[in-house]
Amino acid sequence: MRAFRESFARFIMPYKFAIDEIATKVSILREEFSELHDYNPIEHISTRLKSADSIEQKIARKQCAPSFDAIRESVTDIAGVRIVCSFVSDVYHVFSMLTEQEDLRVLTVKDYISTPKPNGYKSLHVIVEVPVFLSEGSVRVPVEVQLRTVAMDFWASLEHKIYYKYDGVVPAQLLADLTTAAVTANSLDVTMEKLHQQVKNGDADGSRPIAV
Ligand code: 0O2
């Protein structure tokens, strides 16, 4: 058991460092925007390292062999970073600024904003591979970056809590209400984006625009 724990710690460590690398990149963008521009597209960022239990559930679902090599190959969201932006346009802007960085390699992109999940879930997911420099050389580590607006994040965190509370078997009425809430969140995003563009372009009342 002790040997397994040590192997697991060695396995998980690069994922933690990869999260640190991405979090630093996002912090740099955020700070640069704060210093040089009068507007910041990033509201907040959070990170999570998948727990051993959660990895176990995922490999069971994916029918992946329980070896570290197989897990490394097929579970690409052990390291997770979530970036929450004010507006939908910011989500795509931050996505471009991040994925255009030369040391990152984009493995997959899932755009649940342009194509939401049937339950209403919206978010832009990208798996990027980041180099991590260890004492014995460098390794490339996948990180799942989720980018979404404040409204999408609000909806997704409540939906996540409800899903866990009911252990995945959510009553039909609650599911229907959640879908309605997703439509409302989307309509808020559309309105906020319109207001943001109006203020940015200075066509709200003809006065000099300030950053919002
Ligand atoms: P947790 O607790 O966040 O770690 P794949 O990894 O591509 O084989 P998967 O996992 O279906 O398959 O990939 P996908 O669709 O990109 O989803 C990965 C993560 O997105 C999930 O991780 C959630 O964080 C989030 N997500 C996806 N769908 C939903 C949804 O309907 N509601 C909410 N609230 N979040 C969602 P985990 O591992 O499931 O969970």
Buried b (16+ CB within 10 A) or exposed e, 56-81: eebbeeeeeeeeeeebbeebbbbbbb
206 in a structural domain: no
Are 177 and 120 found together in one domain? Answer: no
99 in a structural domain: yes
Distance, in Å, from the CA atom of 118 to the CA atom of 121, rounded to the nearest integer, reads 7
CATH number at residue 64: 3.30.460.10
Over 70: is that where the pLDDT of 210 sits? no
Over 80: is that where the pLDDT of 4 sits? no
Are 114 and 140 found together in one domain? Answer: yes
More confident residue, 196 or 38: 196
- Give how many domains the chain has, as a whole number: 2
Over 90: is that where the pLDDT of 106 sits? yes
In tens, the pLDDT along 161-185 reads 999 999 889 999 999 999 999 999 9
The pTM for the full model equals 0.91
In tens, the pLDDT along 79-88 reads 999 999 999 9
Over 80: is that where the pLDDT of 191 sits? yes
Are 142 and 173 found together in one domain? Answer: no
Instruction: Please identify, among 150, 167, 182, the residue that sits at the C-terminal boundary of a domain.
Output: 150
Ligand 1 centre distance from Cα of residue 27 (Å): 24
Q: Which residue intervals of the chain are DSSP H helices?
A: 2-36, 52-62, 68-74, 88-99, 150-165, 172-201
Are 177 and 75 found together in one domain? Answer: no
In tens, the pLDDT along 17-31 reads 999 999 999 999 999
Ligand 1 centre distance from Cα of residue 60 (Å): 15
141 in a structural domain: yes
Are 41 and 136 found together in one domain? Answer: yes
> Pocket residues for ligand 1 (CB within 6 Å)?
50, 54, 77, 110, 117, 119, 121, 125, 156, 159-160
Helix axes 172-201, 88-99, angle to 10 degrees: 80
Probe ligand 1: pick from 157, 160, 165, max atoms within 8 Å of CB? Answer: 160
pLDDT at 206: 59
137 in a structural domain: yes
pLDDT band at 134 (very low <50, low <70, confident <90, very high): very high
pLDDT at 85: 96
211 in a structural domain: no
207 in a structural domain: no
Are 162 and 146 found together in one domain? Answer: no
Are 164 and 136 found together in one domain? Answer: no
Over 90: is that where the pLDDT of 92 sits? yes
Return all residues near 66 (Cβ < 8 A) that are at least 6 apart.
Answer: 59
Query: Region 200-208: what's the mean pLDDT?
Result: 69
pLDDT at 199: 86
Name the residue range of residue 178's domain. 158-201
38 in a structural domain: yes
The answer to whether the CB of 105 falls within 8 A of the CB of 129 is: yes
Distance, in Å, from the CA atom of 127 to the CA atom of 35, rounded to the nearest integer, reads 29
Query: Region 137-159: what's the mean pLDDT?
Result: 97
Are 171 and 138 found together in one domain? Answer: no
Are 12 and 63 found together in one domain? Answer: yes
Query: Region 185-206: what's the mean pLDDT?
Result: 87
